[in-house]
Structure 1
């Protein structure tokens, strides 16, 4: 590790020397504050951040370009209110997204506004490893229950991953190549372009790494083998615009990865391997008119996963279809309406599942009504009716009032209900299937204030939130038999503070503090109930700071520092055959990135160094994490 740090330091010095005699930095090399930035996830149609009372965080194109040495989970792990467990463990280890302390299957993942789903998974959480960061242009993180807009699984919020679409001329070529620690190679290449009628983006990505041992070798023997990882991914986005009002956008994406995994906590397995793939294709269409637009969406997801040992194989296949049509309409300057209908069909292919019950469907009509800026007051009212082919009906709604105090403050409140439908695996799967399950249902409230300076060079947002989930689905054993039941109640609450300031035209700094805690209430067989803190692997306290400094027009350096407070984990002791609760120490991650641009910005050299402090820490009890590591490389466009 000392040798790697020395190499990294020498590289940083070289970057500085290259830039020492360059001209003053330009403001456009930074991500400047822009409260008029337009987002689509908060309402399903374009609105500026200043116009919505919902809590939205944006990872823009510049930030993604400066994340060439990371994967998607590592980038999300740096954000306020987000912990991606497994992000900095072995590169191929599974990832769990904890948004505001919620469990991983309470956050819905979207690609270009369309939900992703793997019906063969137990909890329904989508596997982030199947989404290459190289194909992403922008990410919008929308917090709070969003079931009224997006349906099942959006209890904690949604993460909308917006992919690259087109170039700004008929032909653009681009690519990135990097190499670094753990014999890790990342490369992507593609072409994009646009004309009056057509636009396109075609990208291929390769990622491979020798990795580290997934399981932690507590004996220090060094006998545990490295668990490697490899991935290939392809994306094609097309656009056809026959008139100014009509656009048709077909797409196809394919991602395939595989690697080694271990037997469990502190337990090596040199022969276990896994394979997974995602085929995602579909079509987005839009017709715009003077007072609004009509959108048509269709996507199909085919996921396959298999965990293979010399003695067994566990293949899982899932098929998911999502079709949706919605329209927004403006009745005038202050009144807007959104109405839509979505249909989802899910199918799993598991040999042990009942042949008769391998699929289900969900129909979702929904509507939202917006009153905008009448005497500084705005409100959004929404409702969704859910028609589920197995359990019946669910109704959700949301209320989001906002009040502006001049141009320096915005007060907001969001109250919303949400739901998570039981998965196919829970209803008809291999273990503990229960066709009588009902949906998990939530009630969420958040409120806060967003303050701005008059020159808009600084702002701070403070948000309080509370979330209650009833009918939580758990897996039971013993007297109740091995099966899934709606049994528990989950209560979470916390707050976030996010200041951002543009010091000058060269330097932006953002920071955050996040607090979250939660407890689970479980009925007892003897009567009464028991309540205990259960936010496993999720810290109560986290603090972060991000800074981007344009040293010159060519050289930009950025820094991310995030602390993760003490957490608990659960560990199954094979000696006593009992589940034990263990404490995990707090830790800090410091990441640095530098890039130097030349040849009229067409070539970029970069260094991405992570865990600069070489922290020894644990994400999952009994599993290894990455020490100090570096990726260096170059990207080009022409």
Structure 2
């Protein structure tokens, strides 16, 4: 029944597009697509032997009311655990069978991590889509350019820039439901407001953005094994972003930026366990400076930032029949100087040096971690050569020396050749190594082990990219990754795995662009892991059909299928648990009341109220509705 309805809806979109096929369209000469994430500087995608997924400003405008995790979870090769659970559930990106801390998240070139956490993985709850201009995703090892933490991929997020006029105002309001599968009542438990003011005055530009949400209506833990209904757990995030820029000339600009993000939330006592008193608070404060200098033969960039994460937990202990208080503080300093020098149109050299310093201060009933002890720093010089011959051969090769205060020197490198057989067809390949140091928590906490070895990662990928006149694009990539000394939690502390862990698979994306007012995207990822069983599905299938057939209207259907998965329940049953496959269908629609000024949007998620398990013992979202208004002045 569900499949038939999905096919019927898809056919409806195709029919609507065909009815408008005879409309007159203007032919616009489209410039070559460029990417930044592949080399840290703008370069044509055809000159890089990597698959780059780009989520444009236009695509994000057609995703109003969604979260960053929602957008990323619909891409091939990426799994966002917790995205379909309660709003307060932590959310990290797992790429190609890797773990959250092996995917590096960048905000305007600044790497984000959380030294206060267990493994430095960045929590996507601390981001809001309303502040983002575009997103680039590069799946595959990227440690040569981006250092430790980019072993499986990079998510490069570009925040919004100020408009060219003196003042502009943006306001968005959205309300919706937040129900699990067993609750079909229309209770408005999801509220969001976003306001931004920005503009340019001669050489000076500014942007201020504030986003606030309040979400309830679901329990964090699943109550399916309980005779009583669990209470709702609230989640209240606030995100602020300020950026001030000054253009000294067309060649030199500088900017100051500051982000402050705060989450207040309730959480339960664990899998299938309710709590009406546990609560937490996350704070992230980040400020920094960036500059960009263009000169005749190249470009010089400098970025420096300070980031502080504070996490506070009040948690009930059944052992002492009292509340325990936890306080975690993570501090990180980052600086990166990188230069691109173009010898000619075929050959360029990228050189840079980056510095990171991380500290952790922890106070808990089980012990303390002193930041004077729990700290490390890394100083990494790196270089990359980019060669693009006239006969279609492209080579991107680089090396990086990780100089780690605790682990000494580690050399990583990559070789990324590709061949443009024609303007439409390209062969790509790469071999990369990566170095991942243990987190401060894994080294110095009550469960820490100062004798841990860093993880070492080797990755291979090969594939094809076919593109026809910016209308059809097909990417298929085989990947294989082998990790040695993987850090796992043992009987009482963190340990290195005795055997290597490998993941292999095939990642495929087929996209069509504006054929009879239709955009179609189909994705499939096959992933196999020999060990470390952690909810990674063997098959993930995604599909999106969007149409602009009606005037001033955008409509889309999203389909996602997650195959059967397994998970080793170390702290529960002590056995490997198996979970059924599930499929989700989402509907989205927007209508422009006044072009570029006022629009309305609506969405229905989990259209058929599919009942499924994402994380053992935790609630998942059922059918939910959201509507909103968006104003630009």
Q: Residue 564 of structure 1 aligns with which residue? A: 562
Alignment partner of 1:154 out of 144, 150, 157: 150
TM-score by length of 2: 0.91
Q: Secondary structure at the match of 2:120?
A: coil
Which residue of 1 is the match for residue 595 of structure 2? 600
Could you list the runs of 4 or more consecutive aligned residues of structure 1 that deviate by over 4 angstroms after TM superposition?
23-30, 32-35
Work out which of the residue numbers 530, 545, 551 in structure 2 matches 1:547.
545
Equivalent residue for 1:80?
76
**Structure 2 residue 515 is matched with structure 1 residue 504:** yes
Deviations 1:62-82 (A, max 9, x none): 222222222111221111111
In structure 1, distance between residues paired with 2:543 and 2:625: 20
Partner of 1:524: none
Q: 1:456 to 1:27 in 2, by over 3 A?
A: farther
Indicate the residue corresponding to 1:459 in structure 2. 473
Mapped to 2, the partners of 1:73 and 1:555 lie a distance apart of: 25
Residue of structure 1 in register with 2:114 after alignment: 118
- Shift of the alpha carbon at 1:502? 2.9
Cα 1:62/1:456, change in 2 over 3 Å: closer
Of 228, 235, 256, 1:229 maps to: 235
Once residues 61 and 31 of structure 2 are traced to their aligned partners in structure 1, the CA distance between those partners, rounded to angstroms, is 21
> Is 1:386 matched with 2:381?
no
Q: 1:497 to 1:415 in 2, by over 3 A?
A: same
Q: Is the 8 A contact 1:54 1:142 kept in 2?
A: yes
Alpha-carbon shift at residue 345 of structure 1 (Å): 0.5
- Secondary structure of 1:88 counterpart: coil
Give 1:127-526 correspondences, 5 Å limit.
127-182=123-178, 183-219=189-225, 221-310=227-316, 311-351=323-363, 352-354=368-370, 356-431=372-447, 433-453=448-468, 455-477=469-491, 482-485=493-496, 487-502=498-513, 504-520=515-531
SS in 2 for 1:315: strand
Distance 1:26 1:463 in 2: 37
Structure 1 Cα separation of the partners of residues 342 and 497 of structure 2 = 42
Please say if residues 438 and 486 of structure 1, whose CA atoms lie closer than 8 Å, have aligned partners that are also in contact.
no
C-alpha distance 33-465 of structure 1, shift in aligned 2 (>3 A): farther
Q: What is the deviation of 1:503?
A: 5.4
Alpha-carbon distance, 1:539 to partner: 0.6
Instruction: Kindly indicate whether the alpha-carbon contact (under 8 Å) linking 1:26 and 1:552 is maintained by their aligned counterparts in 2.
Output: no
Taking the aligned partners of 1:67 and 1:33, their CA distance within structure 2 comes to 26
Q: Give RMSD over aligned pairs.
A: 2.4
User: Counterparts of 1:47-66 in structure 2 under 5 Å?
Assistant: 47-66=43-62
Segments of 5+ residues of structure 2 without an aligned counterpart are: 1-11, 179-188, 317-322
Q: Match of 2:288, SS?
A: strand
Q: Is the CA contact 1:391–1:437 (under 8 Å) kept in the aligned structure 2?
A: no
Question: 1:636 aligns to what?
Answer: 631
- Alpha-carbon distance between aligned partners in 2 of 1:34 and 1:394, rounded to the nearest angstrom: 43
Shift of 1:355: 5.8
Given the superposition, is the C-alpha separation of residues 354 and 605 from structure 1 closer, same or farther in structure 2, using an over 3 Å criterion? Answer: closer
Range moving further from structure 2, 113-122 or 59-68: 59-68
Report what 2:574 is aligned to: 579
In structure 1, the residue matched to 2:32 is: 36
Q: Secondary structure, in 3 states, of the residue corresponding to 1:134?
A: helix
2:426–2:464 CA contact under 8 A, matched in 1: yes
Shift of 1:365: 0.1
8 Å contact 2:360–2:370 — kept in the other structure?
A: no
- The 3-state SS of whatever aligns with 1:123 is coil
Write the deviation string for residues 48-92 of structure 1: whole angstroms up to 9, x where unpaired: 222211121011112222222221112211111111011011111
Q: In structure 1, how many angstroms separate the alpha carbons of the residues matched to 2:372 and 2:282?
A: 26
Q: Is the 8 A contact 1:26 1:550 kept in 2?
A: no
Taking the aligned partners of 1:572 and 1:333, their CA distance within structure 2 comes to 55
Offset of residue 420 of structure 1: 0.8
- In structure 2, distance between residues paired with 1:27 and 1:303: 54
CA contact (8 A) 2:139 2:153 kept: yes
**Contact 1:473 1:488 survives alignment (8 Å):** no
The number of equivalent residue pairs is 598
1:189-216 CA distance string (max 9 Å, x none): 0111124402222100011111301111
> Is the 8 Å Cα contact of residues 573 and 580 (structure 1) preserved in structure 2?
no
Normalising to structure 1: TM-score of the pair? Answer: 0.90
CA distance in 2, matches of 1:87, 1:629: 14
C-alpha distance in 2, partners of 1:473/1:148?
A: 21
State how far apart, in whole Å, the 2-side matches of 1:632 and 1:271 are: 32
Residue 25 of structure 1: how far off its partner (Å)? 10
CA distance in 2, matches of 1:450, 1:28: 31
- Structure 1: gaps spanning 5 or more residues: 1-15, 521-533
- Secondary structure (helix, strand or coil) at the match of 1:153 reads coil
Q: Distance in 1 between matches of 2:165 and 2:372?
A: 52
Give 3-state SS (helix, strand or coil) of 1:119's partner.
coil
The CA distance in 2 between the partners of 1:519 and 1:486, in whole Å, is 13
Distance across 1 between alignment mates of 2:72 and 2:454: 28
